[in-house]
Structure 1
Amino acid sequence: MTAQPNYLVLPGYLGSGPEHWQTRWEAADPAFRRVEQADWDRPRLSDWLDALDEAVAAEPGPVVLVGHSLGCVLTAHWAAARPASAVAGAFLVAPADIERAGVPELENFCPVPLQRLPFPSIVVASTDDPWCTPQRARLFADAWGARLEFTGAHGHLNSDSGLGDWPFGRKLLAELPVS
């Protein structure tokens, strides 16, 4: 019998506020724990990788990464550079196309790694995300070996999208085959 995973929540650039689905999932379920970063406004890849390393190492059982936006890119960098044996899967929502974003604070995360992730994953994307076109979302999902799900036109799948507790996202997460 496989142990129930713990979920490490990986917000993106500027973090996830109180109305974001990630924050709501954390508040509703103790299996979800946010990986806190020292600086959400000026992210440094090396610092974010170190924080993720520490969080994964601190978990007693299997871990599923739940990334949003830059958190998806962090997951790709981490999987490319770190052993991923403790990670059972990744749920990656609204990956940010930082190579085309024109945000200087994000340039140290470029380029976006395009290596296959060593664990099962689902990429969830919106058809009108201002941070990532459907074509780029498909490119990321294909490169990462992830199942791709489009939600329709819901922007960046964040607080501004009005998703609330986002039950559709929880349904998709439950479909993730954890290894």
Structure 2
Amino acid sequence: MSYPFLTIPGLASSGPQHWQSIWEQQYPQYFGRIEQDNWDWPVKTEWVGRLQEEISRLNGPAYLVAHSMGCMTVAHWAQEYSSGYIKGALLVAPADVELSKRLNFVVGFKPVPITKLPFRSLVVASTNDMYASIERSRKFADDWGSEFVNLGRKGHINAVSGLGDWQEGKTILQDFSGINFAF
């Protein structure tokens, strides 16, 4: 079954209080999750390979909805693969695998791709994200040819940020994709 939206979580698979997980539960007919074998030890070849496996099963158009390391997975996937089914990507709080000292254990994600993504994309970032400065997030957006949204002080835009089902994010995704999934 193809979903209009594929969520690509970051470290720890976006737990139950994360907006990605909440959206998947609220709208199971719209959101499908890309699963990884090891959520705590990101290895580029494995994470990108799993994303490609799932994308290769698509039989209809889809938007990628990535968070943190999931954003880096999408950027690397786009350098190696392509699919006419991918219509766009919402890239929320991309993790800076090059400069963040908190991410020194990730394998193969450096350097961050600097080529334009072959589909429409939107980077959403925060001014106080511990995994990437707003300047670096804006650079990723520029490099990837993405639109850019600065949310202000929202931390890593995750469960710890206290966003719940993140209504603002739903609006951003609906405006970006043209798909009204929140009834």
Normalised TM-score (structure 1): 0.93
Provide the rounded CA distance (Å) in 2 between the counterparts of 1:45 and 1:36.
Answer: 14
Moved over 6 A (4+): none
The equivalent of 1:76 in structure 2 is 75
Q: RMSD over aligned Cα, in angstroms?
A: 1.4
Indicate conservation of the 8 Å contact 1:120/1:176, yes or no.
no
More off after superposition, 100-109 vs 31-40? 100-109
Contact kept in structure 1, 2:59 and 2:85, CA below 8 Å: no
Equivalent position amino acid for 1:8 in 2:
L
Contact 1:45 1:109 in 2 (8 A): yes
Number of equivalences: 175
SS at structure 2 position matched to 1:112: coil
Distance 1:66 1:126 in 2: 17
Letter in 2 for 1:54: E
Structure 2 counterpart of 1:57: 56
Looking at structure 1, the residues matched to 136 and 47 of structure 2 have their Cα atoms a distance apart, in angstroms, of 23
Query: What residue in structure 1 maps to residue 25 of structure 2?
Result: 27
**Residue 141 of structure 2 is aligned to residue 141 of structure 1:** yes
Identity of aligned residues (%): 43
Cα distance in structure 2, aligned partners of 1:149 and 1:175: 13
- How far apart, in 2, do the equivalents of 1:16 and 1:155 lie? 15
Q: TM-score, normalised by structure 2?
A: 0.91
8 Å CA contact 1:67, 1:93 repeated in 2: yes
Cα deviation, 1:5-25, whole Å, max 9, x if unaligned, reads 611100012220000000001
Structure 1 window deviating more from structure 2 (50-59 vs 91-100): it is 50-59
Name stretches of at least 5 consecutive residues in structure 2 with no aligned partner.
179-183
Partner Cα separation in structure 2 for residue 15 and residue 118 of structure 1: 26
1:54 CA displacement: 1.3
